[in-house]
């Protein structure tokens, strides 16, 4: 069931999304070769709690196999849901960080892919293309369009550039729950799928690979990796459907202030 948000609810969602944005920037301050992923997670959790919110990912999934951390930190061939721990980042590692918070009863959930140190031009092209596809998808997220318009924009841009578009993982609605209807695939056909309406809140999140689109899950039950071991990138924004142009609730501006990485765009268009 799709739940349309009121303006007062959107205000609360914006606050939650902005806290995620600021949390990712706090992590960016210390993300470098030699740092343990567990340290990044502790910094994020402390920052979230300090600002009166709850880490949305920690404990997610129920009693059987709850996610044990506040961040998903996925390195190189890990697409999403990587578990932080004692892994030490190396120069050139591609590090996707996904963060979620619950603040005043509403959720924020978005992601950014960093590089620890320096990497090669082809890897940067993967990250840049993935980020561009996020904004191209958002351009299609307007009242009266369909979810297929979003997916087609992402898919066309990435596949034309020679990259794989993960099929098994999709974006989603967001609001009082972290995952709500509708599903928002990163592939599809224009004019197909769920009709978008003003007040719908979505998390749009291209997950793109340097090789195959196929993925598999590791024995921890969480970490999803590319089937061929190729590098993956993941960017995500929270948005609200409006007439004419979507409103982006989250931002990468805080990250841009910290990283000052001119090689990688933090906006598009």
Residue 22 token pair:
């600021």
**Global pTM value:** 0.96
Range of the domain at 191: 7-259
Residue 47 token pair:
């920052």
Residue-by-residue pLDDT tens, the chain, 269 positions = 999 999 999 999 999 999 999 999 999 999 999 999 999 999 999 999 999 999 999 999 888 899 999 999 999 999 999 999 999 999 999 999 999 999 999 999 999 999 999 999 999 999 999 999 999 999 999 999 999 999 999 999 999 999 999 999 999 999 999 999 999 999 999 999 999 999 999 999 999 999 999 999 999 999 999 999 999 999 999 999 999 999 999 999 999 888 765 445 555 44
- On whether residue 1 sits in a domain, the answer given is no
Residue 1 to residue 182: CA distance in whole angstroms: 8
Q: Is the peptide bond before 182 cis (omega within 30 degrees of 0)?
A: yes
So what's the pLDDT on residue 268?
Answer: 47
So what's the pLDDT on residue 266?
Answer: 53
In whole angstroms, how far apart are CA 90 and each of 75, 114, 186? 10, 12, 30
- On whether residue 100 sits in a domain, the answer given is yes
Domain count for the chain: 1
- On whether residue 267 sits in a domain, the answer given is no
In whole angstroms, how far apart are CA 251 and each of 17, 18, 136, 154, 215? 8, 7, 16, 19, 28
So what's the pLDDT on residue 269?
Answer: 41
Contact between 76 and 93 under an 8 Å Cβ cutoff? The reply is yes
| CATH code of the domain covering residue 77 | 3.90.230.10
Per DSSP, 1 falls in state -
So what's the pLDDT on residue 261?
Answer: 55
Q: Single out the residue of 235, 213, 205 nearest to residue 167, CA to CA.
A: 213
Helix (H, G, I), strand (E, B) or coil at 183: strand
- On whether residue 140 sits in a domain, the answer given is yes
């Amino acid at each position: 069931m799709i739940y349309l948000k009121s303006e007062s609810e959107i205000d609360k969602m914006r606050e939650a999304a902005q806290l995620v944005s600021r949390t990712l920037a706090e992590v960016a301050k210390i993300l470098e070769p030699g740092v343990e992923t567990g340290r990044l997670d502790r910094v994020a959790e402390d920052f979230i709690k300090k600002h009166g919110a709850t880490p949305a990912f920690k404990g997610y999934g129920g009693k059987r196999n709850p996610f044990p951390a506040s961040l998903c930190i996925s390195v190189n061939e890990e697409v999403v849901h990587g578990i932080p721990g004692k892994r030490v980042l190396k120069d050139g590692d591609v590090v996707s960080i996904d963060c979620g918070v619950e603040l005043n009863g509403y959720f924020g959930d978005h992601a950014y892919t960093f590089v620890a140190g320096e990497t090669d031009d082809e890897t940067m092209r993967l990250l840049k293309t993935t980020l561009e596809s996020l904004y191209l998808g958002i351009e299609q997220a307007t009242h009266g369009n369909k979810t297929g318009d979003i997916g087609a924009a992402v898919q066309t841009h990435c596949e034309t550039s020679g990259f794989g578009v993960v099929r098994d993982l999709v974006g989603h609605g967001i609001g009082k729950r972290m995952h709500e209807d509708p599903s928002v695939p990163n592939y599809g056909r224009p004019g197909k799928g769920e009709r978008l309406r003003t007040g719908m809140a979505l998390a749009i999140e291209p997950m793109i690979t340097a090789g195959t689109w196929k993925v598999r899950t590791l024995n921890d039950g969480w970490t999803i990796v590319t089937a061929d071991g190729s590098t993956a990138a993941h960017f995500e924004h929270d948005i609200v459907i409006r007439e004419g142009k979507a409103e982006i609730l989250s931002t990468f501006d805080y990250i841009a202030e910290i990283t000052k990485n001119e090689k990688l765009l933090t906006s598009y268009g």
